[in-house]
Structure 1
Amino acid sequence: MTQVLGVALLGTGRMAHVYGPKINAHTGLKLEVIYNPRRSSADKVAALYGGRPTDDLDSVLSDPCVEAVIIATPTDTHVDYIEKVARAGKAIYCEKPLDQTLERVDRAMAALKINPVPFMLGFNRRFDPDNSALRNAVKNGEIGRINMLMSWSREPVPPPIEYVRVSGGYFIDSTIHDIDLLCWIAGERPVEVSAFGSCMFDPQIGAEGDLDMTMTMLKMPSGALVHINNSRACAYGFDQRLEAFGRKGMVQTLNHRDDNLVRWDNSRTVAREPLKHFFLERYDQSFYYALDEFHAAIISGRDPSSSAADGRAALAIAHACATSALEGRTISPEY
Structure 2
Amino acid sequence: MTTTLGIALMGTGRMAHVYGPKINAHPGLSLEVIYNPRMTSAQKAAAQYGGRAMDDLDAVLSDPAVDAVVIATPTDTHVDYIERAARAGKPIYCEKPLDQTLERVGRAMDALEAHPVPFMLGFNRRFDPDNRALREAVARGEIGRLNMLMSSSREPAPPPIEYVKASGGYFVDATIHDIDLLCWIAGERPVEVQAFGSCQFDPDIGALDDFDMTMTTLKMPSGLLCHINNSRSCAYGFDQRLEAFGDTGMVQTVNHRDDTLVRWDATRTEAREPLKHFFLERYDQSFYNALDEFHSALTEGRAPSATAADGRAALAIALACARSAREGRSIAPDY
TM-score tier (shorter): over 0.9
| 2:251 alignment counterpart | 251
Deviations 1:29-70 (A, max 9, x none): 000000001101111110011000011111100101100000
- In the alignment, does 2:116 pair up with 1:108? no
**What is the one-letter code of the residue matched to 2:75?**
T
Worse-superposed segment, 54-63 or 118-127: 54-63
Q: Say whether the 8 Å CA contact 1:102–1:315 is kept in structure 2.
A: yes
| 1:263 alignment counterpart | 263
C-alpha distance in 1 between matches for 2:98 and 2:286? 19
Q: Say whether the 8 Å CA contact 1:194–1:329 is kept in structure 2.
A: yes
| 1:51 alignment counterpart | 51
| 1:195 alignment counterpart | 195
CA RMSD of aligned residues (A): 0.5
- In the alignment, does 2:307 pair up with 1:307? yes
C-alpha distance in 1 between matches for 2:110 and 2:276? 39
C-alpha distance in 1 between matches for 2:100 and 2:307? 16
C-alpha distance in 2 between matches for 1:263 and 1:193? 42
Aligned to 2:117, what secondary structure does the other structure show? coil
Which aligned pairs between 1:21-32 and structure 2 lie closer than 5 A?
21-32=21-32
Q: Say whether the 8 Å CA contact 1:195–1:214 is kept in structure 2.
A: yes
- In the alignment, does 2:163 pair up with 1:168? no
C-alpha distance in 2 between matches for 1:108 and 1:17? 24
Which aligned pairs between 1:46-195 and structure 2 lie closer than 5 A?
46-195=46-195
Aligned to 1:116, what secondary structure does the other structure show? coil
Deviations 1:240-299 (A, max 9, x none): 000000011000000000111111111111211221321000000000000000000000
TM-score normalized by the length of structure 1: 0.99
Deviations 1:157-215 (A, max 9, x none): 00000011110000000000000000000000000100000001000000011000000
Q: Say whether the 8 Å CA contact 1:195–1:216 is kept in structure 2.
A: yes
Deviations 1:127-151 (A, max 9, x none): 0000000000001111111100000
Q: Say whether the 8 Å CA contact 1:86–1:111 is kept in structure 2.
A: yes
TM-score normalized by the length of structure 2: 0.99
| 1:11 alignment counterpart | 11
C-alpha distance in 2 between matches for 1:246 and 1:59? 53
**What is the one-letter code of the residue matched to 2:134?**
L
| 2:238 alignment counterpart | 238
Aligned to 1:15, what secondary structure does the other structure show? helix
- In the alignment, does 2:318 pair up with 1:318? yes
**What is the one-letter code of the residue matched to 2:122?**
G
Q: Say whether the 8 Å CA contact 1:86–1:117 is kept in structure 2.
A: yes
Q: Say whether the 8 Å CA contact 1:194–1:324 is kept in structure 2.
A: yes
Aligned residue pair count: 335
C-alpha distance in 1 between matches for 2:299 and 2:51? 22
**What is the one-letter code of the residue matched to 1:18?**
V
C-alpha distance in 2 between matches for 1:276 and 1:39? 35
C-alpha distance in 1 between matches for 2:150 and 2:263? 29
**What is the one-letter code of the residue matched to 1:36?**
N
C-alpha distance in 1 between matches for 2:258 and 2:308? 35
| CA distance 1:126–1:276, change in 2 (3 Å) | farther
Deviations 1:102-142 (A, max 9, x none): 00000000000000000000000000000000000001111
Q: Say whether the 8 Å CA contact 1:276–1:282 is kept in structure 2.
A: no
| 2:292 alignment counterpart | 292
Identity in percent:
80
The gaps in structure 1 that reach 5 residues or longer are none
C-alpha distance in 2 between matches for 1:276 and 1:62? 43
The gaps in structure 2 that reach 5 residues or longer are none
**What is the one-letter code of the residue matched to 2:239?**
D
